[in-house]
Chain A
Amino acid sequence: MPVDSWLPFAQWNLRYNPFGELTAAECAQVAVFDPEPYIEVLRCGRAAVQFIGDCGRGKSTRLLTIQQRVGSEAAFIYLPAFAAVTPQWWLQLWRLRGDLLIIDEAQRIARPLRSRLFRRGRPLVLGTHRDLTRSLQRAGYQVTTVPVGPGNNAQHVRRMANARLAAARLGPGEVPQMSLAEAQQLVNRFGDDLRAIQYFLYHQVQHQAGRNGQMRFID
């Protein structure tokens, strides 16, 4: 067991609270998502993959994972609120260059720009709250639609939590693990909202900083 006493979670062999915010690279590392089948789809010419779901369900994590996997050939853009009516964002979107375009909050692409952008025919990965199948098909895309959220069951939550715990490992050795029963309790309480689960777990773990005993994920 490491003896880094200044680290409040060292007694659990953790370098930091695993349920905090992560960098894009770390996010991709802990994602419980295999991007390979979608990357295969995208290699087949004029293809688009759209991830549809509510906030906090894991759309952005999936986009980041694909971006990290593809590397510098992929161009990523997040469209903030009012991007559809802000010329600066039209310009940024228009200037987006890459073999693969990844657009988060794609429902915010201004309508006239959308058809022009889609006519370019570049492989697309979209995170969206609204189904864009029609616009994509009109531009000749083969569309794969992936609903995000329904798969966020106890098994998924457990894998997500344990992946984060493993990524925060301080040194060789065991780290705490979440059980399926604990994950089920979280799903019963928060449904498929992974972000709410993450915030809850952050507070749960943070309240145990510097203490001994088994880590508790649920009161």
Chain B
Amino acid sequence: MGKCALSIELEDPTAAYRAGQKVRGHLQVVADADVRIRALTVYAGWQTRGMGNVASEHGTQVMLFSGELAAGGSQRYAFEVETLPWPVTYNGFQLNVEHFVEATADIPWAVDPKVSVPIQVLPGDYQPPDVEPPRSPAMILMLALFLFFNLFFIFIALSFLGPIPIVLIGIPVLLLCAAGGLLLVFKWLPQMYVGRVNFHLDQLRLSPGEELRGYFSLRPATAIEPQFIHFHLTATEVCVSGTGTNQKTHRHELFSRQLVLADQPRLAANETTRYEFHTRLPAVAAYSLKLTHNELHWVARIHVGIPGLVDWKDELYLTVVPPLDPMTADALAPGRLAAQFTAELPVPVTRDAAPADDTITFAETISHILSVRTSPEQIDVLVDAVAGLPLELSARIGRRSLLGGDEDVLLAADEQVVWAEHENPPLPLSLYIPRQRVEAFERASGTVWTGRGEIVGWDRRGGRLQVRIDG
């Protein structure tokens, strides 16, 4: 039996390649005995590494040699293979995509020697197709399940109770009632509670670091007061290992961000309330993937907490693709670091809804201030009147102020001031932020934030309304 050893030497072992780019190198074959090689081939490819069953793809095989090698003989063959366009190298938590250049010698009646060298493949010109959301069980499958359970329970009932005809009608009716009950509890009642809803994202195809904008509107048929309305953005690796009864699905949340659109809002009957939100995808190279047994999902989800009922949820699948500019793609952090971008951000939400009661709103207060802007005394009176009232406000976050406590008597020891701008009507604001939230506000610079605060004063010199934000 002939044997030989293979080794690959890449032209530039430290190079990172673009998807579809050619990799050049040399393949060395050393025969320890006389050996007949049916085919000495080299190819590029990728395979998954991690918790899921291995998915892989090999590129075109390039045949370098076929024939006999004498014992002790050594040959060196130059080769050139093309990296596969998709997926690119990915390092996640339970899913990784490894690209390689591999060579193998097909030797009759012996174990084929193989050698493989990992390479890094970065995004190129290729743009992957849109991700399709997982299909919900088909109607035919649900009917088949219903029939199966019917027959199963009829069989059991007949075995125990004997041939009673009522069983043939009773069991299907009972099962229909059970199915209807489940649908009522899990689908219809939550849907009736929230009324007409619209969950919309401006774009479903984005790149890391880009802004995701959208809105959620609802028009309940009766006045409601849900516990909360949340928007979630998550990236999840879903890997399946084993087969049959040994099959196991592993999920790992790479990234999760929650925006509180509303906390115990009071929503009037037959009035449309619209929550606009925007957030930024983390700048990590974690693209949407759909490989056999290995997937990476980006999902935007709305969650309405319903008191005493099952919560209402809806979700949209995003397709996260490499940026068009390869240099931007190269600067992204590895996917496994996505969790570091998860830190809670302030809530960039605007609510377009009628006030729930007759108290003055923040926007109305600002309108009044603007109407008496030329009279600082009147502004002081107005500010004193509304000071201490908890108000909901929206503002575009600016930069952190460098003023210290000795220059600002309102500034507490554990606070910092962040400048912001109320947009409609326009008025500069000084936000007094608890220290633990300052970093999050700084990261949200440039975005619109919505939350609760109380007016604490008026900065005559800077012409800014001073607002303390809840801790």
Instruction: Identify the A interface with B (CB < 8 A).
Output: 3-4, 6-8, 15-17, 20-23, 55-56, 78-81, 105, 170, 199, 202, 206, 209-210
Contacts and interface: CB of A to CB of B under 8 A. Distances in A.
B120 A81 contact: no
Q: Which 3 A/B pairs are nearest by Cβ-Cβ distance?
A: A80-B244, A16-B49, A6-B120
Interface stretch (B87-95, B138-146, B298-306, B433-441): B87-95
Interface in B177-210: none
Given A78-B244, A80-B243, A17 B50 contact: yes
Contacts of B118: 4, 7, 15, 170
Interface of B: 14, 16, 47, 49-54, 56, 89, 91, 93-94, 96, 98, 118, 120, 241, 243-246, 334, 336
A128 B246 CA distance: 13
A199 B239 CA distance: 13
A137 B214 CA distance: 69
A2 to B, nearest CB: 9
Given A78-B243, A80-B243, A21 B336 contact: no
Contacts of B120: 4, 6
Contacts of A56: 246
A16 B98 contact: yes
Contacts of B51: 20-21, 199, 202
Contact of B50 (A3, A21, A55, A78): A21
Contact of B14 (A3, A16, A78): A3
B52 A81 contact: no
A3 B243 CA distance: 37
10 contacts: A16-B96, A20-B51, A20-B94, A21-B241, A78-B244, A79-B244, A80-B245, A199-B51, A202-B50, A209-B336
Nearest to B245: A81
Contacts of A16: 49, 96, 98
Contacts of A6: 16, 89, 91, 120, 334
Given A4-B118, A20-B49, A80-B244, 15 more contacts: A3-B14, A6-B16, A6-B89, A7-B91, A8-B336, A17-B49, A21-B51, A21-B54, A21-B241, A80-B243, A80-B245, A81-B244, A105-B245, A199-B51, A202-B94
A6 B49 CA distance: 14
Contacts of B244: 78-81, 105
Contacts of A78: 243-244
Residue of B14, B53, B91 ringed by the most chain A CB atoms within 10 A = B91
Contacts of B47: 23
Nearest to A78: B243
A215 B1 CA distance: 40
A194 B243 CA distance: 17
A128 to B, nearest CB: 13
B228 to A, nearest CB: 32
Contact of A20 (B14, B50, B56, B91): B50
Contacts of B50: 17, 20-21, 202
B89 A206 contact: no
A21 B53 contact: yes
A212 B49 CA distance: 21
Contacts of B334: 6, 8, 210
A143 to B, nearest CB: 25
Residue of A6, A20, A21, A79 ringed by the most chain B CB atoms within 10 A = A21
Given A78-B244, A80-B243, A21 B91 contact: no
Contacts of A209: 91, 336
Residue of B14, B89, B246, B336 ringed by the most chain A CB atoms within 10 A = B246
Nearest to A25: B114
Contact of B98 (A15, A21, A81, A105): A15
Residue of A17, A20, A23 ringed by the most chain B CB atoms within 10 A = A20
A21 B245 contact: no
Nearest to A55: B246
B327 to A, nearest CB: 16
Nearest to B337: A210
Contacts of A20: 49-51, 94, 96
Contacts of B54: 21-23
B93 A206 contact: yes
A80 B50 CA distance: 23
A174 B25 CA distance: 26
B336 A210 contact: yes
Contacts of A80: 243-245
A7 B54 CA distance: 18
B104 to A, nearest CB: 11
A149 to B, nearest CB: 15
A151 B244 CA distance: 25
Nearest to A83: B244
Nearest to A168: B49
A206 B49 CA distance: 12
B329 to A, nearest CB: 13
Nearest to B16: A6
